[in-house]
Amino acid sequence: MRGFQELLLPVFHPVYGIPYVPAASLKGATKAWARQDGASKSEINRLLGELDKGVGCIQILDAFPKAPCLSVDMANPQWTWENNRVKYQPVPHALLSMKEPELVIGLVRTHRGKQQEQTDDLETVKTWLENALTAGIGSRVSAGYGRTQPQAALDHSSSHSFKMWTQGMYGANHPTRENNYQGKVEFRISGVRGVLRYWFRTVALGLYDVNTCQTFETDLFGGLSKEGSVKIGINLTKQEVSTNTSPHFYEGSILLESKYENHLLLVENVLKLLSNIAGVGRGSRRPLHLNNRRMRGCHWELDNLKFAFDKNEWQEFLKSLVNSFKKVRQPTVPANINPGNDRNRYQDIFNSEAKIFLVPSLHQKHPERVNNWSNDGSKQQVLGEALNLLYSSPSFKGGEKAVGNPLVGGKLEIPSFVIIKSIFPSSGHPYQVVTIFGVNHPQRDNFVRALPNNSIQVWPLSTINN
């Protein structure tokens, strides 16, 4: 069986030693698309050939990049299944990939076809191949690799426009003390896919036993040797790389696709949850702000997916979220798993020991309205009410010079047990969504008790009067 790192490597030509896409891979993907599109077996075999009967009317050649395109990439699973738990244990794997290559793919007429049909045959195979490349080829399609510019290729799809202000996403060249914290910023589709999987597990482990959750996750998002039912694509239309004291900006759309309508609905709901409860990339558990003279956190918004400061709207969404899971797979008896401690951090779960609050933040500034991050980025009008509270005491997180409490606000390499997301609804006042995991711990319970009295609790659903 091929290992994880081996699956990540590009293919190098055995003679020329350069990266390429083998003709066999292109032909296999083209045949698969043609079958999916309803072409008959006889027509596919006539055009592309058979193993025992030789070439068809059209031959597909190896594909080579037109220019150097090898790039050092990074696969970095943050959470790993271990002894029936999902443990926070980043395992970075440096790898080579072809970054945005322009490929030359040859299609050749053979002696098999009738001369008067050759042009039509060539056009048919070209169309099949173009559609196959749109759907994606290779072992990491579900992670966003191996596709041309994402376009809907499956039966059910939806597109969601977004804007993001962030401290950054990074691949192989991430900020370190050695490079003076000047890493190479890049928007990573694997980062979006990773947090979608994370929040999927957050819901699923509150509904299912461990084995069912693992199988369910693989069915949707795929595994090393299995294609998932859901594909994720990103179309970036704008990006502005900034400095350590102001945020990077991205604008574009997220394409979700699935073979099944109920699978698409489930992942759409997970995306809605994510966009209203957390960020993406570094600092995903904090609103965007300045701390210790460097940007921290993430703020992002999806068009028409910002909830109002309204208990009923939130509760109805959370019910629909849970129901979208139940419509795909009936609940079982979930395991009793806690989020761990300051030494071993485990997957957060929406169960009776998690709470979600809506905290009013009336005077908070949207990132677009912050003119000078160096001067204003650490002020309360940027932090918001909930983050200001978290930083107000070393019993929670503490400010720049405080050690803080890792059992509440986390620490380096220990994700926070408190997640805060700023919301700026189209109507009504700004607020922050505060999610606390493991509230049965007395120190986290102290943070819950310190939240403003006018906060609204929306989770757990079973403890709230509708």
What DSSP string runs through 48-61?
H-BTTTB--SEEEE
The residues, any chain, with a CB within 8 Å of residue 223's CB and separated by 6 or more, are: none
* Amino acid occupying residue 14: P
Q: How far apart are CA 248 and CA 184, in angstroms?
A: 12
pTM: 0.86
**From first to last of its 466 residues, what are the pLDDT tens digits of the chain?**
344 444 445 688 889 889 999 999 999 999 998 998 899 999 999 999 988 778 899 999 999 999 988 887 777 778 888 888 999 988 777 777 888 888 899 999 998 877 778 889 999 999 999 988 887 777 666 666 666 666 777 789 999 999 999 998 877 677 677 777 677 777 888 889 999 999 999 999 999 999 999 999 999 998 877 888 998 988 999 999 887 789 999 999 999 999 899 999 999 999 999 999 999 998 999 999 999 888 999 999 998 789 999 999 999 999 999 999 999 999 999 988 999 998 999 999 999 999 999 999 999 999 999 999 999 999 999 999 999 999 999 999 976 666 789 999 998 889 999 999 999 999 899 999 999 999 999 999 999 999 999 999 999 997 443 3
Q: How far apart are CA 170 and CA 187, in angstroms?
A: 7
Collapsing DSSP to helix, strand or coil, 127 comes out as helix
The encoded tokens of residue 330 equal 């009936």
